[in-house]
């Protein structure tokens, strides 16, 4: 009897061990929870350039010389590096096939979608027997093994080639021609219908995209220009995905700053209607920081954003959209100090951190061959079309990256401290602080007897002698430097310092809660 019990116990323990081992290999999506908790540290990647192997260093991938552009498989070797930098979520720019007619760039824009239910063959490696889908699955599996979630970009429009194949999917103008939205000459506007009559053809197209990305293991979708489709369209699609995976994230490219449709023929759905339709978050308007002259402008934006995401039945959040692939490199706008400011705002504000590939090492995205005649093309465009100072999404080009090691250290430190600040950010109070100089912003985040104070000079040309009011602060309170260049002097009721042009200071008060 005892022998039988021992055998039974051994079998149970073996089964439990096997179950635990199996569970350890099974990824469980938690992205909505992570995002709503402002804990996502998102890194935007163009897979076509992410792992590109430009051995001759001319900035362009020369396939005839054996060079390889970015693929699902060669991206895997860079995942450990991202994990070490503190990244826990990747936003992957579109992975759908690309139109070749009326194209922009020699590889075509990533947003010029030829199909919504297949993968871009440009992202496949020729050095494997794996199918393209299997390569995509392997990449995402490897990301998950490193606790990195995957958001896939959903293009807003279709390519001209897709229009020629399926004209019924597209909006027509009064002359019967397909509509070019904004100045995006390589794409045509999809007809998603209206609130009262969703176009089932386009809805089916997007439903197939959801099936595609969920089928390869993705954790969420970023909807490109989400404003140009009806809320009902999105609600039905989001509900469909949530039946499969309740934690599947939906991020809307939308902003309070956007109030007009991309075309007079397009619908316009504002950000709040998108949130009501089920989106978990949106971009906000943090990209406007580059235009701010006063600290009050930033403080008002932060407070308004907090108000805008409050009151929904499901929690909502925003990303730190200070820089995206649509924005010029921060180092071209205001130098390295501006990049550092973006890092520390991401680390201390109630939002999900967001960065573009190459940001962390100071890439200015200046390509010497840009906007010149091409030696070789894979589309009908024989011109190396590029947006100056923005990450290339149009050509087979080099991997993003710079040489600013100091900025990289700040990036890693900011991401590390963001994880420590999360309880304060989510549970504490955001408190604006008065600064004696208009160009200076200052705020505190306080919780459980502690405070983080952030002070920054939006004047990137002139130093600022400033006094920041911190009620009830005394010289006896211990002020610990987190990130400083200038030394603050603690006085009764505040902090006095000389901020360098564009400098951001982060301080920790272990024994003091700002109220």
Q: What is the pLDDT of residues 61-79, one digit of tens each?
A: 999 999 999 999 999 999 9
CATH number of 108's domain:
3.20.20.80
Q: Establish if 27 belongs to a structural domain.
A: no
Q: How confident is the model at residue 94 (pLDDT cuts 50, 70, 90)?
A: very high
Mean pLDDT score of the chain:
94
Q: Establish if 32 belongs to a structural domain.
A: no
Of 426, 460, 482, the residue that ends a domain is 426
Residues 151 and 46 in one domain: yes
pLDDT of residue 515: 86
| Alpha-carbon distance values, 396 to 161, 389, 405, 411 (Å) | 20, 17, 26, 27
Q: Establish if 96 belongs to a structural domain.
A: yes
Strands 149-154 and 220-223: parallel
Residues 251 and 351 in one domain: yes
Pick from 500, 477, 472, 503: which is nearest to 490 by CA?
Answer: 477
Q: Which residue has the higher pLDDT, 37 or 18?
A: 37
Q: Establish if 149 belongs to a structural domain.
A: yes
Number of domains the chain contains: 2
pLDDT of residue 11: 41
Residues 352 and 478 in one domain: no
φ, ψ of residue 55 to 5 degrees: the values are -70, -30
pLDDT digits (tens, 9 = 90+) for 95-138: 999 999 999 999 999 999 999 999 999 999 999 999 999 999 99
The angle that helices 200-215 and 231-244 make with each other, rounded to 10 degrees, is: 30
pLDDT digits (tens, 9 = 90+) for 306-361: 999 999 999 999 999 999 999 999 999 999 999 999 999 999 999 999 999 999 99
Residues 249 and 379 in one domain: yes
Residues 221 and 361 in one domain: yes
pLDDT of residue 14: 41
Q: Establish if 440 belongs to a structural domain.
A: yes
Residues 263 and 236 in one domain: yes
CATH number of 470's domain:
2.60.40.1180
pLDDT at 2 over 50: no
Residues 422 and 439 in one domain: no
The burial of 174, by beta-carbon neighbours within 10 Å (0-12 exposed, 13-18 middle, 19 or more buried), is given as exposed
Residues 380 and 436 in one domain: no
Pick from 258, 251, 260: which is nearest to 285 by CA?
Answer: 258
Question: Please, are residues 237 and 210 in contact by the beta-carbon 8 Å criterion?
Answer: yes
pLDDT at 189 over 50: yes
Average pLDDT for 389-417: 97
**% the chain with pLDDT above 90:** 92
pLDDT of residue 1: 40
Residues 225 and 326 in one domain: yes
Cα of 401 vs its chain's centroid, Å: 17
Average pLDDT for 474-495: 91
Q: Establish if 192 belongs to a structural domain.
A: no
pLDDT at 19 over 70: no
pLDDT at 448 over 70: yes
pLDDT at 17 over 70: no
Average pLDDT for 202-216: 98
Residues 504 and 359 in one domain: no
Residues 357 and 467 in one domain: no
Residues 148 and 70 in one domain: yes
pLDDT at 15 over 80: no
pLDDT at 92 over 90: yes
pLDDT of residue 478: 86
pTM for this structure? 0.94
pLDDT digits (tens, 9 = 90+) for 219-268: 999 999 999 999 999 999 999 999 999 999 999 999 999 999 999 999 99
Q: Establish if 24 belongs to a structural domain.
A: no
pLDDT of residue 25: 72
Question: Which strand (E) or helix (H) includes residue 142?
Answer: helix 132-145
Of 404, 426, 448, the residue that ends a domain is 426
Q: Establish if 178 belongs to a structural domain.
A: no
**% the chain with pLDDT above 70:** 95
CA distance 75 to 503: 35
Print the domain residue range for 362.
40-157+200-426
Of 426, 456, 480, the residue that ends a domain is 426
């Amino acid at each position: 009897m005892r022998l039988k019990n021992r055998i039974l116990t051994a079998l149970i323990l073996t089964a439990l061990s096997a179950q635990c081992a199996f569970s350890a290999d099974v990824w469980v999506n938690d992205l909505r929870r992570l995002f709503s908790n402002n804990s996502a540290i998102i890194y935007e990647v163009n897979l076509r350039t992410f792992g590109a192997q430009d051995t001759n260093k001319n900035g362009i991938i020369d396939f005839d010389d054996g060079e390889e552009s970015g693929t699902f498989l060669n991206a895997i070797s860079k995942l450990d590096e991202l994990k070490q930098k503190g990244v826990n979520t990747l936003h992957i720019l579109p992975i759908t096939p690309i139109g070749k007619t009326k194209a922009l760039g020699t590889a075509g824009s990533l947003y010029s979608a030829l199909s919504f239910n297949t993968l871009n063959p440009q992202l496949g490696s020729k050095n494997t027997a794996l199918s393209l889908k299997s390569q995509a699955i392997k990449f995402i599996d490897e990301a998950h093994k490193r606790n990195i979630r995957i958001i896939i970009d959903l293009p807003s429009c279709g390519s001209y080639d897709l229009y020629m194949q399926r004209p019924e999917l597209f909006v027509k103008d009064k002359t019967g021609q397909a509509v070019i939205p904004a100045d995006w000459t390589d794409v045509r506007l999809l007809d998603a219908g209206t609130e009262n009559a969703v176009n089932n053809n386009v809805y089916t197209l997007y439903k197939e995209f959801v099936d595609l990305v969920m089928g390869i293991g993705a954790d969420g979708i970023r909807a490109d220009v989400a404003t140009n489709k009806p809320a009902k369209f999105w609600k039905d699609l989001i509900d469909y995905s949530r039946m499969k995976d309740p934690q599947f994230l939906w991020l809307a490219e939308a902003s309070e700053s956007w109030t007009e449709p991309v075309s007079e023929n397009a619908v316009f759905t504002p950000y709040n209607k998108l949130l009501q339709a089920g989106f978990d978050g949106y971009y906000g308007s943090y990209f406007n920081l580059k235009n701010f002259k006063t600290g009050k402008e930033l403080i008002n934006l932060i407070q308004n954003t907090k108000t805008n995401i409050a009151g929904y039945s499901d929690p909502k959040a925003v990303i730190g959209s200070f820089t995206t692939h649509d924005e010029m490199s921060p180092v071209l706008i205001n130098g390295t100090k501006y990049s550092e400011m973006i890092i520390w705002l991401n680390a201390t504000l109630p939002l999900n951190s967001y960065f573009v590939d190459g940001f962390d090492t100071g890439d200015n995205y200046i390509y010497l061959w840009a906007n010149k005649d091409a030696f070789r093309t894979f589309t009908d465009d024989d011109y190396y079309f590029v947006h100056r100072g923005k990450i290339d999404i149009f050509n087979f080009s080099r991997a993003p990256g710079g040489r600013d090691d100091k900025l990289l250290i700040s990036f890693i430190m900011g991401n590390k401290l963001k994880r420590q600040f999360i309880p304060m950010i989510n549970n504490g109070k955001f408190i604006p602080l008065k600064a004696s100089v208009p160009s200076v912003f200052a705020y505190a985040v306080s919780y459980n007897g502690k405070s983080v104070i952030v002070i920054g000079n939006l004047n990137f040309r002139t130093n600022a002698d400033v006094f920041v009011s911190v009620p009830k602060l005394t010289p006896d309170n211990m002020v610990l430097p987190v990130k400083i260049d200038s030394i603050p002097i603690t006085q009764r009721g505040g902090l006095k310092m000389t901020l360098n042009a564009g400098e951001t200071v982060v301080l920790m008060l272990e024994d003091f809660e700002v109220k």
